Amino acid sequence: MSLRDCRNVKVLDVVPVGQSKRPGDFFELVLEYPGWGGWKPGQFVMVRPVSWGPELVWGRPFSICRGDEKSLTLFVQRVGRGTERLSQVLPGEDVTIWGPLGNSFAVEPETPTLMLAGGIGIAPFCGYIERHAAPENLKLFFAHRMPLECYPYAAMTQKAQGQNMLEAQPEDLAGIIDQMGALIREYADGGLVLCCGPTPFMKTAQRFALEHGARLQVSLENRMACGVGACLGCVCKDEKGHHTQVCTKGPIFWADKVEL
């Protein structure tokens, strides 16, 4: 039997996180657990509330943030029509979900591992830290534009070492880039680096990793319609310049095997 499936689950809760410009810009969507015992950190799920009807045709992809035998939690930032409508679902509503989808981050418990997260890209690292056998070997570097309380950072750094930098104004960016470069260089010798965030953020990480010879994985998030490898709407270019599906061949790629 396949590990993947599609089913309707109930919304258990919608929990606002932090205070940004608009209330509810960041929230946790807590769903009934679909029974996926085997999900791995870095995998994602497609989510589509039944109440959307035909108006919004696609599900939306979200990294799995947390999952136990009772619930599945996704961390969402409200940015477009889909996440806007998703922020309005109510406990008890039916949501269609399919997954767990895609591949997962490398896990090497004994290897010093650096997680580079940019903004909402912090989401998959929640599950990574929770499921890691030796979180004392993990360090989270988090670059963000909204107040830190908008993200699940505090809970994550109870288990793993953390460092965060706020990009409050454009001038802050240079400092963030310098720090990323220094950290990647530090982990180049025998370490593992994982990155999830906006494309420019991951491009910067890729550049430093190639420069310093660090082993880096990046988690891509392209617009996708199906999530199962059929629509070919989410492709990226691999190292040979061929289009390859982010949903099934990724979303995690080794940084030297993908064009960003």
Partner 1 sequence: MDMNVSVGGLQLRNPVMTASGTFGNGLEFAPYGDLEKLGGICVKGLSLKPREGNPMPRIAETPCGMLNAIGIQNPGVEYFVRSILPSLKRVDVAVVANLYACDADEFGELAGILAAEEGVHALEVNVSCPNVKEGGAAFGQDPSQIARVTESVKKRAGNTPVMVKLSPNVTDIVECARAAVDGGADSLSLINTLLGMAVDARNRRPRIANVVAGLSGPAIKPVALRCVHQVCRAVDVPVVGLGGIASAEDALEFILVGAHAVQVGTANFLRPDFAFSLADDMAALLSDMGVESLDEYRGSLVLPL
Between residues 82 and 135, which has the closer beta carbon with respect to partner 1? 82
Between residues 5 and 211, which has the closer beta carbon with respect to partner 1? 5
Question: Is beta strand 60-63 parallel, antiparallel or unpaired with respect to 192-196?
Answer: unpaired
Between residues 17 and 260, which has the closer beta carbon with respect to partner 1? 260
Sign of the C-alpha dihedral computed for residues 77, 83, 87 and 89 taken in this order: negative
- Going edge to edge, which strands form the sheet with 94-101? 60-63, 44-49, 94-101, 5-16, 26-32, 71-77, 66-67
User: Applying CB under 8 A, which residues contact partner 1?
Assistant: 2-6, 48, 54-59, 81-82, 96, 98, 222-233, 235-236, 242-243, 248
Minimum distance of partner 1 from residue 184's CB (angstroms)? 27
Between residues 12 and 56, which has the closer beta carbon with respect to partner 1? 56
Minimum distance of partner 1 from residue 163's CB (angstroms)? 33
Minimum distance of partner 1 from residue 99's CB (angstroms)? 10
Q: What are the DSSP calls for 43-108, one per residue?
A: -EEEEEEGGGTTTS-S-EEEE--EE-SSEEEEEEE--SHHHHHHTT--TT-EEEEEEEES------
Minimum distance of partner 1 from residue 158's CB (angstroms)? 36
